Structure 1
Amino acid sequence: MRGKTAVVLGGSVAGLCAAGVLANHFDKVIVLERDQLPPDAEHRRGVPQSKHPHFLLNSGRRAIGEIFPGFEEALIAAGGMLLMPSLDAAYCENDGWAARKSSSMTMVYSSRVLIERVLRDKARELPAIEIREGVSVTGLRTTEGGTTAGRVEGVDFRTGDESGSLPADLVVDALGRGSSVADWLSEAGWPAAAEKTLDAKVTYTSRWYDLPPADRRPASWWWKHLVVTPTQDTGDHPEEHEFLSNFFPIEGDRAIVCMGAWGLRMPREVDAFEAAADRVRAAPFGQAMHDCTPTSEVHLTRSTGNKWRRFDLLDRPPLGLVSVGDSICAFNPFYAQGMSSAARSALILAELLRGRDALDAAFFREFLTRQKKSLDVPWMLAMARDQAYDFATGSEVVPAWRRRIAARLSWPVFNAITATSREDDYVERTFTQVFNLDKSLREMATDPRFWLRIARYKVRELFGRTVVPHGFDDQQDPPGTDFTGITKANAHAYARDDRSPASETDLVND
């Protein structure tokens, strides 16, 4: 044991993952949660983003599974769906629908509220963890703030009309984007931590739907997930063609219809929402929405800026305190990095607690150093796209020439990677690792084998020698043919869709 009591501020994904780790090293782990937690998978005030789709990346799945063994199995038993996106999702890319094909990536689809409910159930199985609900944290208890010996020794809190304090050997800040911990530290004598920020003005809007009964769904619905990427057409087109749109499946035969964009106003009323979905550039998106039954109002979120509080840069960071999740680093939610990054930070904490005997200055310095290295991976991915916009604001805005390069190259490079991935296992595996935070963007960008394979694919494409078709008409239903295993030798055995831009001759021309 590293101490008697650890206190976790916040009972969402980041806080529960931290609590699961601490339960192995402290006599008691007390989680202070402002909300009254629902017994089932329900929305609550403290997690407004739960009304939108959430991806749990592979690295996050593994991390949570290590913290709470059996988590994934429990999530699936509760209604989560283990799917292979390349086979079970229809993707509308720049030139139309992509072909279906197996890949190395799987994902468990569910709502955010179900993920949290399963995590709460797992946390409550651990006798060391106590979750106190309806508790608002009002401040930190500190000594010698800002000095070498400066330490956080507990927290102040309020429950209803009553106030109190709670001593702790370790405090974990998991209060999210709105955490006041940095302000409390400044009041106690620590210098303000530097902040890296970039707000690309992303807004997204969602509505929940019940799917039609299985025997009444359209015959064309082989897919579970429908994705429409923004157009790359620079000509005149409806604003909705700029949307990144998801028909996202969740438990209970339901789906979340979500549309988002950089720098555009998004609909928040029902009529405007439905009209916008009908104008998304792939016609089946709006059609699918109308085939379902709405069960919620329209939910809109604007709090999407990237923000990294750099406690690792303090000369004398506070002892007795670590921050995880959005409290330390919040990302543009479009990139689905938040939950996985929080779980990865919890694993770093677990590794250090196993390897060190004392919660001394060296412990907290090493945690911040290793956490910074972990957060660099998703941060670089978020910057790669969000720095392309002229209207972005924050400390990480780049010069105009870099914005122009990013804006001109980001989608074409993405298109080249995804197209090559359908025919090249190495490119597919590498990109999957980067997407899932198992490999950094820098590693991919400096991998000559990766780029040589993409260049080879583009040359083959130029001469009509690629095998897997692409560019299926986005005004028609996405084709359901599974092209897994297609080669130039067996291309004739695959059923051709008459909406494909390629002919069977093109397939065997390799």
Structure 2
Amino acid sequence: MRGRTAVVLGGSVAGLCAAGALARHFEQVLVLERDRLPPDAEHRRGVPQSKHPHFLLNSGRRAIGEIFPGFEEALIAAGGMHLMPSMDAAYCENDGWAPRKAGSMTMVYSSRVLIERVLRDKVRELPAVEIREGATVTGLRCAGGGAPDGRVEGVAYRAEDGTEAVLDADLVVDALGRGSPVAAWLAEAGWDAPPERTLDAKVTYTSRWYDLPPAGGRPASWWWKHLVVTPTQDTGDHPDEHEFLSNFFPIEGDRAIVCMGSWGLPMPRETAAFEAAADRVRATAFGRAARACTPTSEVHLTRSTGNRWRRFDLLDAPPAGIVSIGDAICAFNPFYAQGMSSAARSALLLGAALRRHDAVGAAFARDFLTRQKASLDVPWMLAMARDQAYDFATGTETVPRWRRRLAARLSWPIFNAITAASREDAYVERTFAQVFNLDRSLRQMAADPRFWFGIARYKVREKLGRTVVPGGFDEREDPPGTDYTGRTDPAGAPSARTDRGDDLVGA
């Protein structure tokens, strides 16, 4: 054991993962959660983002599975769906619908509230962990603030009945999310405020929940479970909705979350405007799919989407006795689906650091912060690569105009080349999936000669007319369900249309 008591601030995904990691190293782990936690998969005040789609990336799935063995099986038993996106999702890309074929990546689809419910069930199986609901954290008890041997020694909180209490703690884990006041409390106690890296690309997204039609009453064209429409790359006149990143996202219980988001554009928040916007998304199947379903919620809109990293690792003398994980340390643009997985990875690192150190002192704090920084670098670099391209982005990580222009000019062509080459080169497809899932960094991908060779070879074959898997199927039609897995014969491969007026061939 590394101590008697650990206290976790917050009972969302980050806090629950931290509690699971701590349970192996402390006699008692107390989770302080402001909300009353629902017994089932239901929304609660403290997690407004649960009303939007959430991806649990493969690296996050593995991390949670190491902390809570059997988590994935429990999530699927509760209604989560284990799917292969390249076979079960329809993607509308730059030039139209992408072809359907088997790939290396699988995902478990579910709502955020179901993920949290399964995690709560797993946490409650741990005898060392106690969740105290209705507990509002009001401050920290510190000693020697700012000194090399300074540390956090406890937590003050207010119980649901108004009673004030203080808990002694050998280790405190801050999982209070984007709005965490912990950095301010530490500054009041004498520590330097951590430098912050920020970038807000003015992302807004809006979602509504739907029931799917009964299985026997769905359109024959619905081979897909997940529908994705990427923003247009057309620079001419078009409706704002063509700039949206749009998801028809499947969740448990024969339901879907219809979500539309954008960088820098106003988004609908009223029902009629939401439905009209869905109809104007550039792939017409998106609006048709939404209208075929039965809405079960109001429209939910979120604007709190900026990237923000509190760099405690840069402090000369970071406080001992406390660490931060999840959005409390590093919050991402939610479009990139990195939050839950990054939090789970940090919780796994926390457990590993506790195994390496006999005490949770300054050496432990420095070791954890160093390794956490290396882990967070991976998703942070991905978020910066896209969000730095926008002229209206604000924050410390904005770049000169020439770099914004270069990023805007190159990002889409590179992405298009990668996705096209992935259709025929398994190495390119696997590498890109690893980067998306945070298993490889963008820097590693950029330095991989085999990856770029695969893309260059595909572009040469494309110029010579020797590619075998078509793409660019008409976005005005339903996505084609043809399975191109293993297709190697150019003569037998249906061709995509090159003119917007042509009929779809081979759907």
Paired with 2:404 and 2:72, the residues of 1 have a C-alpha distance of 40
| Contact 2:151–2:319 (8 Å) recurs in 1 | yes
Superposed, which structure 2 residues align to 1:343-492 within 5 Å?
Answer: 343-488=344-489, 492=492
For residues 448-493 of structure 1, the C-alpha deviation after alignment (integer angstroms, 9 at most, x for no partner) is 211121011111111211010000000000000000000027x52x
| Contact 1:479–1:497 (8 Å) recurs in 2 | no
Q: Which amino acid aligns with 1:78?
A: A
Q: Tell me the secondary structure at the aligned position of residue 255 of structure 1.
A: strand
The answer to whether structure 1 residue 333 and structure 2 residue 343 are counterparts is: no
Aligned residue in 1 for 2:3: 3
| Contact 2:470–2:495 (8 Å) recurs in 1 | no
Aligned residue in 2 for 1:27: 27
Shift in alpha-carbon separation, 1:500–1:103, aligned structure 2, 3 A:
farther
Paired with 1:479 and 1:497, the residues of 2 have a C-alpha distance of 12
Paired with 1:256 and 1:408, the residues of 2 have a C-alpha distance of 32
Paired with 2:496 and 2:448, the residues of 1 have a C-alpha distance of 38
Paired with 2:482 and 2:111, the residues of 1 have a C-alpha distance of 28
| Contact 1:7–1:168 (8 Å) recurs in 2 | yes
Aligned residue in 2 for 1:70: 70
C-alpha displacement at 1:358, in angstroms? 1.4
C-alpha displacement at 1:497, in angstroms? 7.8
| Contact 1:469–1:500 (8 Å) recurs in 2 | no
Paired with 1:205 and 1:479, the residues of 2 have a C-alpha distance of 27
For residues 309-329 of structure 1, the C-alpha deviation after alignment (integer angstroms, 9 at most, x for no partner) is 000000000000010000000
C-alpha displacement at 1:200, in angstroms? 0.1
Q: Tell me the secondary structure at the aligned position of residue 477 of structure 1.
A: coil
Superposed, which structure 2 residues align to 1:197-346 within 5 Å?
Answer: 197-346=198-347
Aligned residue in 2 for 1:112: 112
| Contact 1:35–1:45 (8 Å) recurs in 2 | yes
> Which one is further off, 441-450 or 100-109?
441-450
For residues 258-288 of structure 1, the C-alpha deviation after alignment (integer angstroms, 9 at most, x for no partner) is 0000000000000000000000000000000
Q: Which runs of 5+ in 2 are unaligned?
A: none
Q: Which runs of 5+ in 1 are unaligned?
A: none
Aligned residue in 2 for 1:157: 157
C-alpha displacement at 1:37, in angstroms? 0.2
Q: Tell me the secondary structure at the aligned position of residue 412 of structure 2.
A: helix
Paired with 1:163 and 1:356, the residues of 2 have a C-alpha distance of 33
Q: Which amino acid aligns with 2:5?
A: T
Q: Which amino acid aligns with 1:289?
A: A
Q: Tell me the secondary structure at the aligned position of residue 175 of structure 1.
A: coil
Paired with 2:495 and 2:399, the residues of 1 have a C-alpha distance of 45
> Which one is further off, 459-468 or 295-304?
459-468
TM-score normalised per structure 1: 0.97
Paired with 2:349 and 2:244, the residues of 1 have a C-alpha distance of 36
C-alpha displacement at 1:380, in angstroms? 0.1
Q: Tell me the secondary structure at the aligned position of residue 103 of structure 2.
A: coil
| Contact 1:470–1:500 (8 Å) recurs in 2 | no
Q: Which amino acid aligns with 2:28?
A: K
| Contact 2:473–2:496 (8 Å) recurs in 1 | no
Paired with 1:369 and 1:499, the residues of 2 have a C-alpha distance of 51
C-alpha displacement at 1:114, in angstroms? 0.2
C-alpha displacement at 1:159, in angstroms? 1.3
C-alpha displacement at 1:75, in angstroms? 0.2
How many residues are aligned here?
A: 502
For residues 54-88 of structure 1, the C-alpha deviation after alignment (integer angstroms, 9 at most, x for no partner) is 00000000000000000000000000000000000
For residues 24-74 of structure 1, the C-alpha deviation after alignment (integer angstroms, 9 at most, x for no partner) is 010000000000000000000000000000000000000000000000000
Q: Tell me the secondary structure at the aligned position of residue 248 of structure 1.
A: strand
Q: Which amino acid aligns with 1:142?
A: C
Q: Which amino acid aligns with 1:24?
A: R
Paired with 1:409 and 1:212, the residues of 2 have a C-alpha distance of 41
Paired with 1:13 and 1:342, the residues of 2 have a C-alpha distance of 7
> Which one is further off, 57-66 or 158-167?
158-167
C-alpha displacement at 1:446, in angstroms? 1.2
Aligned residue in 2 for 1:51: 51
Q: Which amino acid aligns with 2:465?
A: G
C-alpha displacement at 1:352, in angstroms? 1.3
Q: Which amino acid aligns with 1:255?
A: A
TM-score normalised per structure 2: 0.97
Paired with 1:500 and 1:23, the residues of 2 have a C-alpha distance of 59
Shift in alpha-carbon separation, 1:85–1:51, aligned structure 2, 3 A:
same
Q: Which amino acid aligns with 2:7?
A: V
